[in-house]
Structure 1
Amino acid sequence: MASLPIFISAVANSTDEPHFPLLFTWSTHDGQIKEVLVTPDDDWLHEHSIEPNLQNLDEQQLYEFGYEAQDILNEWAAELDTDTMYAVDAESVEALVETLYDTKGLDPAFEIVSIEQWFNERDINLHRAREEQGDNTPLHLLSPDEQIMSLLQLAAGHDLLDLSDLETE
């Protein structure tokens, strides 16, 4: 079986003017969902603040439970063998991924493409398919882990993924 596509989501410091990431959530090639808080780079906080967000993330939580950019980049390099990741808001997620890589003077190792493009390439209208399954909440209003889970379930429900080999007892 081919590995699963990687879906990614992120939470930014601001919904109006995102400048840096607070949280990344992604699926893995084996169907897991991983989530990591991001310890802010000092330069980020000199220029921008962390605004209230749906996940109630604040600066103290990020410093207490977050991971440094290099740790996240190392994990991605070790675990994600892909040139492409798919996101609901590809433009914003791509900018946040670039910000993380920029802290180390690197270019992203993958590109971020719209999840709608992935489904369209497989002749599935994402919004219609979600409505048919009774999912009426817009994807961008779901928490990052709910977004990823919804996308994996929708893809599996349309036989675009075979998750049966991934289930554990």
Structure 2
Amino acid sequence: MPIPHFLDIEYCQTDDVLFPTAIAWSLADGRMKTVVIAPDDEWLPDDGHLPDIDLQYLHEQGVPLIELARALHEDLPDQTVYTDGLDPDEILVDRIFSAVDMEAPFELATIDELISGLDSDTLEDRRRELLFSNGLDPQLPENGVYALLMLAQEEGLTDL
């Protein structure tokens, strides 16, 4: 049984900026990849100050956008990739690929399009419950992907 692909993006958002800071995605065999993202200079405010964001850490530890785009092209070509539907995922994916002048190799859809037997509120409640019951920090994108994988497993969509 093919395993659905999932993606979660953490991001910085203020009145003036919105950009991704970390991303995680699942592979066809259920493994996950996660990376911190080095921001594009165009995304940053002129004064370089962002509350609650360690830009030095992002610049030092983050993966350059071209490397991230190549990895996503290798791992998710022509796939439908599911998200929790809570974040501005399409905008964030567009920011990543626009910065390197590439098209996204996948199409985004929300988890309620994959699991059609439950409404989005019920799915979100169940996802949060899985995060909490497993002691997972909801701010980490790999935990968001893991919770979606567990949800898909509960619904019989994967044999992980």
Closer/same/farther in 2, CA of residues 160 and 72 from structure 1, 3 Å limit: same
Show the counterpart of 1:10: 9
Closer/same/farther in 2, CA of residues 87 and 19 from structure 1, 3 Å limit: same
- Whole-angstrom distance in 2 between the partners of 1:19 and 1:86: 21
* Residues 14 and 50 in structure 1, CA contact (< 8 A), matched pair in contact too: no
Q: Which runs of 5+ in 1 are unaligned?
A: 164-169
Matched, 1:119 2:118: no
Q: More strand per residue: 1 or 2? A: 2
| TM-score normalised by structure 1 residue count | 0.76
Paired residue type of 1:37: V
- Whole-angstrom distance in 1 between the partners of 2:128 and 2:43: 40
- How much has 1:95 moved relative to structure 2? 0.6
Matches within 5 A, 1:77-96: 77-89=73-85, 92-96=88-92
- Whole-angstrom distance in 1 between the partners of 2:38 and 2:104: 18
Paired residue type of 2:57: Q
Runs of 4+ in 1 over 6 A off after TM superposition: none
Show the counterpart of 1:167: none
1:152 pairs with one of 144, 149, 152? 149
Higher relative contact order (CA 8 A, sep 6+): 2
* Residues 10 and 21 in structure 2, CA contact (< 8 A), matched pair in contact too: yes
| TM-score normalised by structure 2 residue count | 0.80
Closer/same/farther in 2, CA of residues 116 and 43 from structure 1, 3 Å limit: same
* Residues 8 and 87 in structure 1, CA contact (< 8 A), matched pair in contact too: yes
Q: Which runs of 5+ in 2 are unaligned?
A: none
Aligned residues: 154
Percent identity between matched residues is: 26
